Every structure is written in structure tokens, then in C-alpha cells.
Structure 1
Amino acid sequence: MKTIFHKAETRGSADHGWLKTYHTFSFANYYDPERVHFGTLRVLNDDYVAAGKGFGMHPHDNMEIITIPLEGDLQHKDNMGNQEIIREGDVQVMSAGTGVYHSEFNPNSDKAVQLLQIWVFPNKKNVKPRYDQISLEDIKRDNEFYQILSPDSKDQGVWIHQDAWFSLGKCEAGKEATYQLKRAENGVYAFVIEGEVTVNDKPLKKRDGLGIWDVEELNVVCNTNARLLLMEVPMEIKN
């Protein structure tokens, strides 16, 4: 088993007033040659967007972009004609492919929105751009991991152009759960959204991250009530 540990307070950060953001991996003005990506996981941004503020239209290409609101709402618009509100309990995916423009805006006048934005390198370049979002209400489970993303459009959750699987877990203090990797050559990046957990004997606190590879499964013990995101991704970039 191999691991890499990123404490929450070691992340890059920026405060633009309307936007407070934390970067697990190198992004924008934050650069650390030791923290550029974890396998095909390229970006893990933890964003706080003030009421009535947001990102104007901007471009992306050849990247799988996943957005998970943690609190509040986010309004999405793009040049494919999509205009949607994503809320806490939803997950959104956008395959940028040959190129897409989109904006993200907090439509609420009285509260910030907190969200995770995640980028994954695709296994196919220059695909037709696509957009999707789903509610997790009907698939969420307590005290076990439930899948929210996969490579298969017929599987549970949203899908992307990569052999990756994301799972969420919400557990009570004292509970344990096991995650079995889907592919032996993959690794898993575990990110603690709330609370404190122990993953394969490694204690983690809120917003800590732990990358694990050369392992068949993860054993998770919830030391407090906790929420955890597991991102299983290929360790080698191929495209």
C-alpha cells in the first residue's frame, strides 16, 4: 500500500472577497510541483461563493468537470443551452471535450454557497461536450458508501469519460464501512467533508485528503459523525 497525505491547512488558498477557495492540487496562482495531480484527478477545489456572486462565462476543453454543492444553490448556464440550478444533494457533470463555455452563479441574496469542483483528465479527447445532473436523494445511504459517478451511463450516478468511480459516505460516530476498488490499477483519493475518520489506520480530520494506491480495499472508521468523498481514479494518465 502506498499513500500520500494532504492536511487541510496545507492546501493552497485565495480570498477574492466574493470567493474564498482552497486548492488541494496546483491551480491558478497556487503551484506546488509535488501537488499537481493524483493520477487522473487533476483539481479538487473547495469553494465558498458569496450571495449574489459567481463566475462569469469562461471556457474549458478536454476535461471532465464534476460539481458537488455542499450547502446552498448554484446556477449554471452554458453555450449548449443548459440553464439549471444545482443544489445541496445534487451532483453535476460536464464533459468539456472539444470546448464549452459556462458560468456559475449563486442566485441567493442571503447566503453563500459551498461546493466542491473536481476535474478529472478524460480517457478520450475532443468528445462532443455534454451536461448532466442528478439528485442523490433516491440513492443516498447512511453508514455505507453509495456510488455517485462511474464510467457507465447505465450505472448508478452520473458518468464520465474515464475509468473512475466516486462514492459518498455519511456515517455516525463508531460506525465502520469498507470500500472495494473497482480496478486493481486504480487509486483512491479520500476527502473528508465533515467530521473525523480513520482510513486504513490513518486518522483524518475535516478537509484532509489521503491518496491510497496499490491496495484492494479501504477500511473506514468514523470517529465522529462524518461525511467522506472517495474518488477512485486511474493512476496513469492515458489519452
Structure 2
Amino acid sequence: MAQSVLHQAGTRGHANHGWLESYHTFSFAGYYNADRMNFGALRVLNDDTVSGGMGFGKHPHDNMEIISIPLEGDLEHQDSMGNVAVIRKGDIQAMSAGTGIYHSEKNKNPNEKVKFLQIWIYPDQKNVTPRYDQLTLSMDDRHNKLQQVLSPNKDDDGIWIYQQAWFHIGKFNKGISTEYALKGGANSGVYAFILNGQVNINGQLLNTRDGFGVWDTDKLSITAESDAEFLLMEVPMKF
């Protein structure tokens, strides 16, 4: 029988640093909740807004898969591997921190906010050579269907990471329904995050910025109760 956990938007951790406003689905920095450490291999889901011209200075990571999904504005990335790039809505970025990297992220525009999701996934291999990748996605491929944006496979649709994880984004008109069949077998679960609108997943009504994790099931039933956009993150529950 399917099991689930609901994290409504208003129950997330919240930090406002002036230049940065961040909502934490799972324990992060100054927000600690013993019941919200992770969802399987999904360790961090931060919903960040960065003021014009501001950003995160150079800081280190290791042995973590770090995914950024821009929602609005232009986010400039620099790292110790020599990469300098800008990511925008419709892009996805992934870094395998592996043996260790430094990177910085900055709002490229002085007069506009940048909004993005920062997601950390525990890897299935440690101490890999650090890597950086980004991809521009076709926004049309998520209209009333599920667009795969991340997988474990280099030759599959979307970007890839060192973990048996699959991400999909859907942008559905009101009344559109679909099913999502889990790809990773009995050990997989799916964490859904509603970017905007109302979505019903397995009978649970979800609103903007709600999170809903489901496991011990092989599929999800999804209906948009309004025009809506949402992210599905399938990850191993034991890793």
C-alpha cells in the first residue's frame, strides 16, 4: 500500500537575509526539523529568491549531486573547474561535487530578482571527478505532458547525475490528467513539488509550493485542478 508525506508550503523553514529569501523543505542551515532531514536520496529542496546583483560567494561542496532549476531571471555560475555560465528559466544545471569543488552563484541582473530551486541529491558513487553540465530544455515538451529533465543515463533525455533519479516537469492546463510510472523499481519514491496552481496526486490536493512524497507504489495518478506547473523527483528511498 502506498505511503505518503505532505509538506504544505507554509510549514517549510524560512530564512530572510535581505539579499536572499529562502524556503527550506528539508533541514538546512539554521532550519532544523528532525522529521524533515530528507526524502530518500533527496537531501535539499530550497526555494530561493536573490535580489538584483547579489549572490552566494565562493563556497565548497563535495560528494553531492547539486541541481539548479531557474524559475525567473538570470543566474550566473562560476566554479573552480573554470566554468562561467548563465542559466535561465527553461534551463537545468547539474554539478557532481565528487572529490570537491568551489562555486559561486550570482544574480546577473542588478535590477531584477532571480528565483531558482536548489536541489541536493546524495550520489550513488563517492569521490568522482567533479563535473559540470547544463542544458536548455524545450518548454513545449512539458505542455500537458511530463518532460524528463534529469536521469541517471548520459544518453537519455535531460541532464544526468550519479544517482538512480529521474526528474520530470509538467505544465498542464486545467483538467488534464496523466499517470507517472516509477522507473526505479520497489526502492523508488517520488517527491512532487508544485511550482504553481493546484494539482491532485493520488487523491491529495496540492497547492502552489506544496510538497508531497509518495513511495511503496508503482505509479502516480495526476490531475491539474487549475492551470499548473509541477516538478516530480523520483529518487531511491534507501541508498
Does TM-score exceed 0.5, indicating one fold? yes
Aligned to 1:220: 222
In 2 relative to 1, CA 139–162 (structure 1 residues): closer, same or farther, beyond 3 Å?
Answer: farther
Q: Following TM superposition, by how much is the alpha carbon of 1:141 offset from its aligned partner in structure 2, in angstroms?
A: 2.7
Structure 2 CA distance, aligned partners of 1:222 and 1:180? Answer: 17
1:205 equivalent to 2:212? Answer no
TM-score w.r.t. structure 2 length?
A: 0.98
Name structure 2 gaps, 5 residues minimum.
none
**Aligned letter for 1:141?**
R
Matches within 5 A, 1:1-239: 1-137=2-138, 140-184=141-185, 185-237=187-239
**Is contact 2:90–2:139 with CA below 8 Å preserved after alignment?**
no
Structure 2 CA distance, aligned partners of 1:138 and 1:81? Answer: 29
Q: Following TM superposition, by how much is the alpha carbon of 1:178 offset from its aligned partner in structure 2, in angstroms?
A: 1.1
**Aligned letter for 2:205?**
P
Q: Following TM superposition, by how much is the alpha carbon of 1:139 offset from its aligned partner in structure 2, in angstroms?
A: 6.8
**Is contact 1:150–1:156 with CA below 8 Å preserved after alignment?**
yes
Runs of 4+ in 1 over 4 A off after TM superposition: none
**Aligned letter for 1:183?**
G
Q: CA RMSD in A?
A: 0.8
**Is contact 1:64–1:95 with CA below 8 Å preserved after alignment?**
yes
- Identity among equivalent positions (%) equals 55
In 2 relative to 1, CA 206–138 (structure 1 residues): closer, same or farther, beyond 3 Å?
Answer: closer
**Is contact 1:139–1:146 with CA below 8 Å preserved after alignment?**
no
**Aligned letter for 2:29?**
A
Please give the per-residue CA displacement for 1:144-193, whole angstroms capped at 9, x wherever unaligned.
10100000011110000000000000000111111110022200000000
SS of corresponding position for 1:140: helix
TM-score w.r.t. structure 1 length?
A: 0.98
Structure 1 CA distance, aligned partners of 2:28 and 2:65? Answer: 16
**Is contact 1:190–1:228 with CA below 8 Å preserved after alignment?**
yes
Structure 1 CA distance, aligned partners of 2:51 and 2:33? Answer: 27
**Aligned letter for 1:95?**
S
Structure 2 CA distance, aligned partners of 1:87 and 1:209? Answer: 23
SS of corresponding position for 1:80: coil
Q: Following TM superposition, by how much is the alpha carbon of 1:137 offset from its aligned partner in structure 2, in angstroms?
A: 1.8
Structure 2 CA distance, aligned partners of 1:42 and 1:138? Answer: 27
Name structure 1 gaps, 5 residues minimum.
none
SS of corresponding position for 2:10: helix
Structure 1 CA distance, aligned partners of 2:58 and 2:206? Answer: 36
Structure 1 CA distance, aligned partners of 2:232 and 2:150? Answer: 10
